Amino acid sequence: MNAVPQRGANATPGTRLASLQQWVDEVAALTRPDRVVWCDGSDAEADTLQEAMMADGTLLPLNQDTHPGCVLHRSHPDDVARVEHLTFVCHERREDSGPNNHWMAPAEAHAKIDALFEGCMEGRTLYVVPYCMGPIDSPLARCGVEITDSPYVVANMRLMTRMGAAALARIEREGDEGKPLVRGLHSTGELDPDRRFIMHFPEELVIKSYGSGYGGNALLGKKCHALRIASHQARQEGWLAEHMLIVGIENPQGEVHYVAAAFPSACGKTNLAMLIPPESYREQGWKVWTVGDDICWMHPGEDGRLWAINPEAGFFGVAPGTSEKSNPNALHTIGRDTIFTNVATTDDGQPWWEGLDKRVPAKDWQGRDFDPARGPAAHPNSRFTVSAKQCPTFSAHAEDPQGVPISAIVFGGRRSNLVPLVFEARDWAHGVLVGAAMGSETTAAATGAVGVMRRDPMAMKPFCGYGFADYFAHWLSFDRPGAKLPKVFHVNWFRKDADGRFMWPGFGDNLRVLEWIIGRVSGEAAATESRIGHLPTFEAIRRDGLDIEDGTMRELLRVDEPGWQAEAVEVAAYLDELGVPAESPLRASLGAMA
């Protein structure tokens, strides 16, 4: 059956950009869809798509009285998370992908996945999704086009990116100027785990994903483009594409400092991005502004500072654990016009997940009557997709074309011992080492084992589009004359005492640590020297209203000398594994820590 091209409801099909039209035509010839639809991002288009998905069961209605505009999607049980072992980064030279990525020769990879795409869209619609990562008029933004046969992906991309006619206009304009375009091809295929690959071709700016409908594998603007491909682009063009939140901290004087922070999973990333200050801080006039909760693109500005944008337009957040206590702003954000994926439901059709409240759900994430013997009601990786503009703390500057200036970069992980509550790197090279060495202890819910320490440099281990040794060298290259680089810090909210209890309250009280960090940026906060960097003096972090004894605070800020010597040995071995050369400044910084 010949594909019938369409665009929006009644608009002209296709694009005037010949190279893009040619690619779409080639993909249609390969995949053989019944229809080709060019998405325009309009409300009418979104409504039509949703109606069709409601009719065929792809989306299910939720309680419209309590959650207006909200819908539920249930994935295939074998398609609920990223598949790192099937994710490849296909540079021409294997060494360019590094030991941190799975590699396949590009020619072999194209042949293997194109064979799966052959005829895969017969009986389906091919959607052409033009999108912009970043504010539509920002010079820091980059564009892409995703071709998909999943209307669920289209609906999610509409929330997560600037998708549609405005993006296509920019793509056509930049195409006239010869600027590159990221091209992504996706099909859900048969949702067969044995016929599933996510392939990245950085030199070609191409992504091919087959056999999965899960967001991290199917929303190609997200991890695939905004991190794996963009990190390669950033290295070529002289900027940074990072797995970081961006949050603005406003003090009582009305000054706003923007912080970029990288954390592995289960370390409170979204909670920090939407932090609510403690009551005493709110009374003094402290405010927190959310720019982004997951990805940060940083470019050197003419003033020597790093300026950052959030390339995403929405949140693709983990639902379990989100509650009125942990993140009331997130809970408010997802109260309307949200796509929920793999959550449970109550008897009156409200979304539910573990950690939300004490209600007992009626249906689990697979639509079965809830039975605790079968495990959690909501899948541990169940998600919500929602526009960032619905967040109560969404920053008025999140859409600024020039981005926001970054005052501090924060790394963090889940460490029950050894790592203090907070410390500051001595200089930029030491800060890069701190990020390179960061790690986190796994949790039973995620891995079946508690306390297994895994290194995750800059929280980029699953997402860096080239080898880590080159990635660290790229970071180091920003320390040049005229640069006014952010100060670098490391935090650890997860220290435990001898009885296994958390020593720091976390959540909103983390602002107390951020206050010290900002004080260090402005040269006002006190610190002491140690082998691992600058630590707060005992009185430097405010504890008014906190029930933390002096002994506990001293322990939170203590440097375990023998423990850090052992840590230095482990880090040195890890740098060896990653191929970091002996002459790297990271080695000298490590020597100062040992």
Q: Which residues are catalytically annotated?
A: 267
The reply to whether 294 sits in an annotated binding site is: yes
CB 209 within 8 A of CB 217: yes
The answer on whether 327 is annotated among ligand-binding residues is no
Give the Cα separation of 311 and 308 in Å (integer).
Answer: 9
CB 473: neighbour CB atoms within 10 A?
Answer: 17
Instruction: Name the nearest CA neighbour of 140 among 261, 249, 241, 244.
Output: 241
Asked if residue 510 belongs to a known ligand binding site, the reply is yes
Q: HSE, CB side, 13 Å, CA atoms: give it for residue 245.
A: 29
Residue 414 annotated in ligand binding: yes
Spatial neighbors of 200 by CB under 8 A, at least 6 apart, are 87, 88, 89, 90, 206, 207, 224, 228, 229, 465
> What are the distances in angstroms from CA 271 to CA 29, 246, 318, 519, 574?
45, 12, 11, 22, 30
Torsion angle, alpha carbons of 311, 312, 313, 318, to 10: -160
| Alpha-carbon span 563 to 586, nearest angstrom | 20
Q: Does 384 carry a binding-site annotation?
A: no
Does the annotation list 216 as a binding residue?
yes
Query: For residue 589, which phi and psi values (nearest 5 degrees)?
Result: -65, -35
Distance (Å, rounded) from C-alpha 241 to C-alpha 227? 6
217 is in an annotated binding site: no
Q: Is 123 annotated as a binding residue?
A: no
Residue type, 485: L
265 is an annotated ligand-binding site residue: yes
**Does 508 appear as a known binding residue?**
yes
Q: Is the dihedral of CA 23, 25, 30, 35 positive or negative?
A: positive
Query: Is 519 flagged in the annotation as binding?
Result: no
Consult the annotation and say whether 2 binds a ligand: no
Determine if residue 267 is labeled as part of a ligand binding site: yes
> Is residue 381 annotated as involved in ligand binding?
yes
214 annotated ligand-binding residue: yes
Instruction: Tell me if 310 is assigned to a ligand binding site.
Output: no
Give the residue among 7, 12, 185, 26 at the shortest CA–CA distance from 109: 185
Q: Strand 296-300 and strand 306-309: pairing?
A: antiparallel
394 carries a ligand binding annotation: no
- Token pair, residue 57, equals 């069961």
> Is 416 marked as a binding-site residue?
no
Binding-site residues for substrate, please? 82, 214-216, 265, 381-383
Annotated binding site for Mn(2+): 223, 243, 294
Annotation: binding site? 82, 214-216, 223, 243, 265-271, 294, 381-383, 414, 507-510
Residues forming the annotated binding site for GTP? 266-271, 383, 414, 507-510
